[in-house]
Structure 1
């Protein structure tokens, strides 16, 4: 079919690393059926570019300054439900990727595998299909299970990561110290963590929480 070559797939490429952006663009430019119409360095720029150009496919890095790829994906999809977004991540199936898919991304790619999978995934997403691996789809289906942290447990984790004691967490969340201790016990069990510090490290590395030192 020559129609795809006659009407190239317009692509918005979003990443805060210039060298990575250049690599993606160089690969795409070798294809007659696709073209990069704009680049953005953070989520806010991505939203603004999308509003102006409404590209067929957006390649969205998850971790970026100012506004992350998850937030940008959510805002774009809210305003443009037809948007087709592929999130780019360093870690396979982590919490950030899951959040991005739930925010409306049609698929995801590991940055380490872009050379093998990027072009085919762009074409697949452009045709209206999703590219979500079965393992990740399974995680989405079980995200409300007992092994997943509750909203309150995530709040407690954020305070733990900020260095707060159980007493301080209890005051800040208006709950008893015994309740905090129960939450901490559940958190350690669910994350299979050795202690509070280990749980906080796991949560930050997997994207369950963002590290903030201002929580008091």
Structure 2
């Protein structure tokens, strides 16, 4: 099984490589840089951080260097456990998602499962997704508004920042409160932080 490790943190990258190396069924290459060239990714499993992994997915799709064979299966290893981050990764077809605190045995199991065509998600990731299924997802614009609400912005400030009408902001706020099943903006911020709905999408 050919495994390529590229993580934004040199220390984590080295640790992942050291954990995976030394197993007879794994041939492990550790990247010297954060984002490798598509030609370097002729492997079975790509182990990467959140942002690098998603960038690789986008880069591999049109890559002529890899058209002769299947693209590697992505295993994201990250500290990002927010609902939005996880949902964004899974909707892009990411078959593996582990949190950094997972045990070494879990990492090895995930790599082998992905190499054989399976999927593997951290228990906390699976629980987060199961929780999210009972809630209607926020749209991208609703999340933009929610992020500004979490920063203490009022409706007029939100309208100016996003260059939308004040009435549109009020409509988005009403939808956010309904989807989060809360009555006030303060409650919306608390629920959003608990579910990991605020913050950046990639990074």
Q: Is the structural similarity TM-score above 0.5?
A: yes
- 1:164 CA drift (Å): 4.5
Worse overlay, 92-101 or 27-36: 92-101
When the two structures are superposed, what TM-score results if normalisation uses the length of structure 1?
A: 0.69
Q: Which of 97, 110, 113 does residue 99 from structure 2 map onto? A: 110
Determine the C-alpha separation between the residues in 1 that align with 2:197 and 2:54. 11
Structure 1's unaligned 5+ residue stretches are 1-8, 212-216
- 1:160 CA drift (Å): 3.8
Aligned positions, number: 193
Worse overlay, 105-114 or 173-182: 173-182
Q: Which of 13, 17, 22 does residue 21 from structure 1 map onto? A: 13
When the two structures are superposed, what TM-score results if normalisation uses the length of structure 2?
A: 0.72
* Correspondence list, 1:14-93, <5 A: 14-39=6-31, 41-42=33-34, 45-46=35-36, 48=37, 50-63=38-51, 68-77=52-61, 79=63, 82-92=71-81
Alpha-carbon contact 1:87-1:97 (below 8 Å) kept: no
Give the SS at the match of 1:112: coil
- 1:161 CA drift (Å): 5.3
1:126-185 Cα distance to aligned partner (Å, 9 max, x none): 111222479749949x76x86211233123234445665312333455543233123223
- Go from structure 1 to structure 2 and tell me whether the alpha carbon gap of 1:109 and 1:30 turns closer, same or farther (over 3 Å shift): same
Determine the C-alpha separation between the residues in 1 that align with 2:189 and 2:59. 30
* Correspondence list, 1:4-15, <5 A: 9-15=1-7
Q: Which has the higher contact order (CA 8 A, sep 6+)?
A: 2
Alpha-carbon contact 1:62-1:69 (below 8 Å) kept: yes
- 1:124 CA drift (Å): 1.2
- 1:96 CA drift (Å): 1.2
RMSD between aligned alpha carbons? 3.7
